[in-house]
C-alpha cells in the first residue's frame, strides 16, 4: 500500500506546485522506486511490485501531460485515487469510496488554487470517475489493474471535463438514483452482472443529464425487450450450446457495445440541440434492439444462411440470417422509433427514417459478423458498436 500512498501524497502536494516541478518529483520517485526494487514494465499478470512500478511510470506520464495538454485537476485526481484500490471491497463500497475520494480531491484542488467551481459539475465528474473505477474493479482480467485504473480515470475525467452537462445537483442526484436503481433491479433480476450494473448506471446517468428522461426510456426499452427476448425458446438454444451465458445477464462489454454509439449521439444532441442527433440516437438504439431480436429468434431456427454467400450454416454462426429473424428485425426496427415518436422525441418522418436506418444497421452487423468477427478482428461487442454507430450515421445523413 505504501507506493500507492506515496503517489497520492505527491498528487496532493502537486496542487500547489508548478506542473513542471510536479512532473520532476513524480519522475524522481519513479526512478528511485524502480532502482531499489529492480522492477520492469509488465502489463499482463504483473507482480504487485511491477504493478506499482507501472502506476508510478504512468503517473509521471500524466504529470508530464499536465504541463501542456490536460488540466492539472484531471491528471492529479486520477493519480490520487489509486490508493482506493488498496481498500476495494464490493461494488457498492467501491462506487462510494472512489466517488468520495474524487470529490474530496477535486474540492481540495479548487479551494487551494482559488479556482471557480460548480458543485454539481464536480460531483458529476467525481461520480463518473467512481463508476468507471468500480467497473474496472469488477472485471476479471490478467491486465494490470492499477495501470488500467489510471488510464480509465484520466480518460473519463478528461472527457467529462470537456463535455460537461449543465445540470443542478438535484438533477444529477435524481439521474444517478434512477439509473442506479434500474441497474440494481436488473442485477437482482439476473439480467445484468456487477460490471453491467456499473456501466449501465454510468451510461444512464450521463444520458439523462445531457438529454432527459424520455431518451432514457427509449434506451430502457432496448434493455427490457432485449433481455426478455433471450428467453425465447431458450431450451433449444441451450441444447445447441448457443444460448446467452448466465441466462442472458449483460456485462459491461454488452452494455458499452450497444450503448456507446447511442450515448454519443445523445450527447451531441444535448450539446448542439440539433434534432437530427436525436433521430440518430433513436436509430442506433433501434438497431441494437432489432439485431438482438433477430439474433435470438434466428438461433432457434433450423434454416439459417450466411449473409455473404447465402450458404446454409449452423444456427448461432456470426453473420447468419433466417426468415423469422429478418421478419423479427423488421418489426423490432419500428418499435423504438414508434416509442420515441409517441413521447415527442422525434417526428413521424424522422421515425420512419430511423427505422429504415436501423434495419440497415442490422445487416451491417451481420456482414461484419460474417467477415471481421469471424476472422477474429472484432469481438461481438465491437460489431455491435460499429453497427449501431453506422445506423445512427446513416439516419443523420438521410435527414
Is a pLDDT exceeding 60 seen at residue 57? Answer: yes
Least confident span in 66-80, 203-217, 278-292: 66-80
How far, in Å, CA of 262 to CA of 264, rounded? 5
88 burial (CB, 10 Å; 0-12 / 13-18 / 19+) is: middle
Q: How confident is the model at residue 72 (pLDDT cuts 50, 70, 90)?
A: confident
Share the mean pLDDT of the chain: 85
More confident residue, 34 or 397: 397
Is a pLDDT exceeding 60 seen at residue 42? Answer: yes
- Can you give the pLDDT at residue 242? 61
More confident residue, 378 or 179: 179
Question: What is the average pLDDT across 274-303?
Answer: 89
Selection from 268, 288, 312 nearest residue 362 by Cα: 288
Percent of the chain with pLDDT over 90: 29
3-state secondary structure of 313: strand
How far, in Å, CA of 214 to CA of 216, rounded? 5
Selection from 116, 277, 135, 105 nearest residue 205 by Cα: 135
Q: How confident is the model at residue 360 (pLDDT cuts 50, 70, 90)?
A: very high
Residue 331, CA distances (Å) to 215, 342, 358, 359 in order: 21, 17, 11, 9
pLDDT digits (tens, 9 = 90+) for 152-201: 898 888 888 887 777 777 888 888 899 888 888 887 877 777 778 888 88
- Can you give the pLDDT at residue 108? 92
pLDDT digits (tens, 9 = 90+) for 238-265: 666 666 655 556 777 788 888 999 999 9
pLDDT digits (tens, 9 = 90+) for 335-344: 999 999 999 9
pLDDT digits (tens, 9 = 90+) for 311-328: 887 777 787 888 888 899
* Contact residues for 158 (Cβ-Cβ < 8 A; gap 6+): 70, 71, 74
How far, in Å, CA of 101 to CA of 296, rounded? 42
pLDDT digits (tens, 9 = 90+) for 89-124: 888 899 999 999 999 999 999 999 888 878 888 888
pTM for the predicted model, two decimal places: 0.82
Question: What is the average pLDDT across 372-379?
Answer: 82
Selection from 126, 70, 121 nearest residue 97 by Cα: 126
Least confident span in 198-202, 275-279, 286-290: 198-202
Domain parsing of the chain, residue ranges:
214-399
Selection from 308, 299, 310 nearest residue 375 by Cα: 308
Residue 63, CA distances (Å) to 75, 112, 341, 364, 378 in order: 6, 18, 48, 42, 33
Question: What is the average pLDDT across 282-292?
Answer: 94
Percent of the chain with pLDDT over 70: 94
More confident residue, 226 or 361: 361
How far, in Å, CA of 74 to CA of 318, rounded? 41
- Can you give the pLDDT at residue 2? 77
- Can you give the pLDDT at residue 248? 55
Contact 210, 277 (CB under 8 A): no
Strand 304-306: give its sheet, edge to edge.
312-313, 304-306, 320-321
More confident residue, 117 or 210: 210
- Can you give the pLDDT at residue 116? 82
As a dihedral over the C-alpha atoms of residue 180, residue 182, residue 183, residue 187, rounded to 10 degrees, the angle is 130
- Can you give the pLDDT at residue 395? 96
- Can you give the pLDDT at residue 20? 86
How far, in Å, CA of 346 to CA of 275, rounded? 7
* Contact residues for 90 (Cβ-Cβ < 8 A; gap 6+): none
Is a pLDDT exceeding 90 seen at residue 275? Answer: yes
- Can you give the pLDDT at residue 100? 94
Contact 130, 95 (CB under 8 A): yes
* Contact residues for 236 (Cβ-Cβ < 8 A; gap 6+): 300
CA angle 133, 134, 137 (to 5 degrees): 90
DSSP 43: -
For the ranges 51-60, 78-87, 282-291, 298-307, the one whose mean pLDDT is highest: 282-291
Question: Cell 423504438 appears where?
Answer: 336
Q: How confident is the model at residue 376 (pLDDT cuts 50, 70, 90)?
A: confident
For the chain, percent helix, then strand, then coil, each to nearest 5? 75, 5, 20
Amino acid at each position: 500500500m505504501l507506493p500507492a500512498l506515496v503517489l497520492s501524497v505527491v498528487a496532493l502536494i502537486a496542487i500547489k506546485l508548478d506542473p513542471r516541478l510536479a512532473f520532476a518529483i513524480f519522475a524522481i520517485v519513479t526512478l528511485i522506486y524502480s532502482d531499489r526494487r529492480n522492477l520492469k514494465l509488465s502489463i499482463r499478470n504483473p507482480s504487485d511490485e511491477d504493478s506499482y512500478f507501472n502506476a508510478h511510470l504512468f503517473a509521471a506520464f500524466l504529470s508530464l501531460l499536465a504541463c501542456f495538454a490536460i488540466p492539472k485537476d484531471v491528471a492529479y485526481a486520477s493519480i490520487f485515487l489509486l490508493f482506493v484500490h488498496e481498500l476495494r471491497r464490493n461494488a457498492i463500497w467501491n462506487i462510494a469510496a472512489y466517488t468520495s475520494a474524487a470529490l474530496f480531491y477535486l474540492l481540495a484542488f479548487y479551494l487551494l488554487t482559488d479556482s471557480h467551481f460548480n458543485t454539481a459539475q464536480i460531483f458529476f465528474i467525481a461520480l463518473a470517475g467512481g463508476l468507471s473505477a468500480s467497473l474496472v474493479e469488477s472485471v476479471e482480467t490478467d491486465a494490470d489493474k492499477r495501470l488500467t485504473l489510471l488510464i480509465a480515470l484520466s480518460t473519463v475525467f478528461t472527457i467529462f471535463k470537456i463535455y460537461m452537462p449543465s445540470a443542478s445537483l438535484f438533477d444529477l442526484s435524481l439521474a444517478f438514483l434512477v439509473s442506479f436503481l434500474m441497474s440494481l433491479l436488473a442485477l437482482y433480476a439476473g439480467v445484468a452482472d456487477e460490471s453491467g450494473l456499473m456501466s449501465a448506471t454510468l451510461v444512464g446517468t450521463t444520458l439523462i443529464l445531457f438529454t432527459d428522461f424520455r431518451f432514457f426510456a427509449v434506451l430502457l426499452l432496448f434493455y427490457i425487450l432485449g433481455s426478455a427476448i433471450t428467453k425465447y425458446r431458450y431450451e433449444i438454444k441451450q441444447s445447441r450450446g448457443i444460448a446467452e451465458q448466465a441466462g442472458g445477464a449483460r456485462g459491461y462489454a454488452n452494455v458499452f457495445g450497444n450503448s456507446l454509439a447511442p450515448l454519443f449521439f445523445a450527447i451531441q444532441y444535448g450539446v448542439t440541440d440539433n434534432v437530427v442527433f436525436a433521430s440518430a440516437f433513436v436509430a442506433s438504439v433501434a438497431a441494437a434492439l432489432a439485431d438482438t431480436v433477430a439474433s435470438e429468434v434466428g438461433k432457434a431456427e433450423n434454416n439459417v444462411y450466411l449473409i455473404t454467400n447465402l450458404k446454409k450454416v449452423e444456427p448461432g454462426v456470426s453473420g447468419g440470417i433466417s426468415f423469422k429473424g429478418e421478419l423479427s428485425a423488421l418489426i423490432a426496427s419500428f418499435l423504438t422509433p414508434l416509442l420515441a415518436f409517441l413521447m415527442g422525441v422525434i417526428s413521424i418522418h424522422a421515425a420512419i427514417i430511423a427505422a429504415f436506418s436501423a434495419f440497415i444497421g442490422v445487416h451491417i452487423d451481420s456482414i461484419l459478423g460474417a467477415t471481421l468477427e469471424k476472422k477474429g478482428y472484432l469481438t461481438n461487442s465491437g460489431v455491435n458498436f460499429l453497427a449501431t454507430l453506422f445506423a445512427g450515421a446513416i439516419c443523420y445523413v438521410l435527414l
